[in-house]
Structure 1
Amino acid sequence: MVTFYTVAKTVVKTILTPTYRIQVTGLEHFPKEGGVLLCANHIDNLDPPVVGITANRPVRFMAKEELFKTKWTGKLMKGLNAFPVKRGMSDREALRNGLKMLKEGQVLGLFPEGTRSKDGTLGKGLAGAGFFALRTDAAVVPCAVIGPYKVGRKLHVVYGPPIDMTPLREKKASAEEATEAIMQAIGKLIENHRS
C-alpha cells in the first residue's frame, strides 16, 4: 500500500543517499518483525530522515511538540509517522503512546540524548529510552550516525545487534541504568566504525 510515508521515504532517500554518500552497515541485526526500540546518537537535524530511510521498516519517531504547532507542519509530521513529545521526556501521553506502539510490534525511534550534540561527541542519555526498554519486550537496537554531514563526504549509519536487556529487567534496574547500557552500545558502534 502506498502511503505518504513510503513516498516521502523514496524521495528523501533519492536525494540524501548520493548527497552524503550514505553507507549502511549492520541491517542484518534489525529484527524483521516485533516491537523494536531504535536508539541513535544525534549529531544533526537530518538524523531522523537519515535513520528513517536506512532502517528496513517504518520508524515512528518522537518529535518535539513545537513541530506540531502549525497546521501544515503538524500534518507533515503525522504523515511522516512522528508523534509529539514535550521536552525532557516527562510527557505521560507520549510515554503511553510509545509503549503502545512497541507492544503493537512497531518500530519506535529515539535519540536518547534529547538534543543534538554541538561537537559531535556522544552525550548523556535521558531516562526515557531506558523506560521503554524495561517496560516492554521490544528488541533494543543501537544505531550510530557517524558524520560529518558534508556534501560528498561519506556518512556512515551503523546498526548494532539488539542489546540483551534481560539481566536489567530481571534485576529491576532503573531507567537511568538501562539508558546507560544503551548509550554504551551506541558509543561502541561509533568507536568501532569511525574511519
Structure 2
Amino acid sequence: MSLYKFARFVVGLILKPLYRIKVSGKENVPKEGPVIICSNHISNFDPPVVGITCPRDIYFMAKEELFKNKILGGLLPKIHAFPIKRGMKDRNALRRGLEILKEGETLGLFPEGTRSKTGEIGQGLAGAGFFAVRSDAIIVPCAIIGPYQKMKPLKVIYGPPVNMKELRENKASAKEVTDAIMADIKKLIENN
C-alpha cells in the first residue's frame, strides 16, 4: 500500500465519523483519463476531505511555505502535493499541474485560491481555467457544504462535469472558464 493510500485510509477513519461526512455524485468523476476536481474552499480540512471522498487519487497544489517544514516537506510529495508560490505566476507549479493531467491523473484545485472567511463562495482566480483550457481534462465541480463542527453533517457533492465544449469552441479566456466552473459550484451549494 502506498503512503498516499495509507494516509487516505487513516485520515478517512478520523474525519468521516468526526464530521459525519455525506458524499454524493461520485459517479460524476470519470474512472480514467485526466480530471480536474474544482471545489469551494471553506477550511484547511478541505484538501483531505476531497482526497478521502473522491474515488480517484488526487494531486493537490500546496503553498510553498509548507514544504519548508522539515517533516511536512518530506511527507507532502509522497501524498501527492506539490508546491506553488502564492501571489505570483509560478511556472513550475503550472508545468507540474499540466504534466499530471497529461499523465491522465487527477488534479485537485480550489479556484478561489484561499479559504473563504465567511463560508460564502468567492471569486475564482484564472488558474483553474488555465488548466482547463490547456488540457483535455474533464472538469468536475465539487461543493463542500459545512460547517466543520463535530457531529454536524458535512456534505461533499461532486456535480456533473462542466460543459467545456462551448467554452472551447468560443475560445473562452481562462478567467471566463473559471467563472463557469465557479457558477457550477455555486449551483451545487444552492441546490443542496
When the two structures are superposed, what TM-score results if normalisation uses the length of structure 1?
Answer: 0.97
2:124 alignment partner in structure 1: 125
SS at match of 1:173: coil
1:103 Cα shift?
A: 1.2
After superposition, give the CA deviation of every residue in 1:150-173 in whole Å (9 maximum; x if it has no partner).
Answer: 000000000001111111112211
Structure 2: gaps spanning 5 or more residues: none
Distance 2:126 2:25 in 1: 26
2:104 alignment partner in structure 1: 105
SS at match of 1:190: helix
RMSD over aligned CA atoms reads 0.8
Task: Indicate how the Cα distance of structure 1 residues 89 and 48 shifts in structure 2: closer, same or farther if over 3 A, else same.
Answer: farther
Whether the 8 Å contact between 1:133 and 1:178 is mirrored in structure 2 is yes
When the two structures are superposed, what TM-score results if normalisation uses the length of structure 2?
Answer: 0.98
Whether the 8 Å contact between 1:88 and 1:114 is mirrored in structure 2 is no
SS at match of 1:156: strand
SS at match of 1:31: coil
1:134 alignment partner in structure 2: 133
The size of the alignment, in residue pairs, is 192
Distance 1:183 1:90 in 2: 21
Distance 1:43 1:141 in 2: 18
Structure 1: gaps spanning 5 or more residues: none
Runs of 4+ with >4 A deviation: none
Distance 2:170 2:102 in 1: 22
1:90 Cα shift?
A: 1.4
1:35 alignment partner in structure 2: 34
User: Matched residues, percent identical?
Assistant: 62
Whichever residue aligns with residue 4 of structure 1, its letter is: L
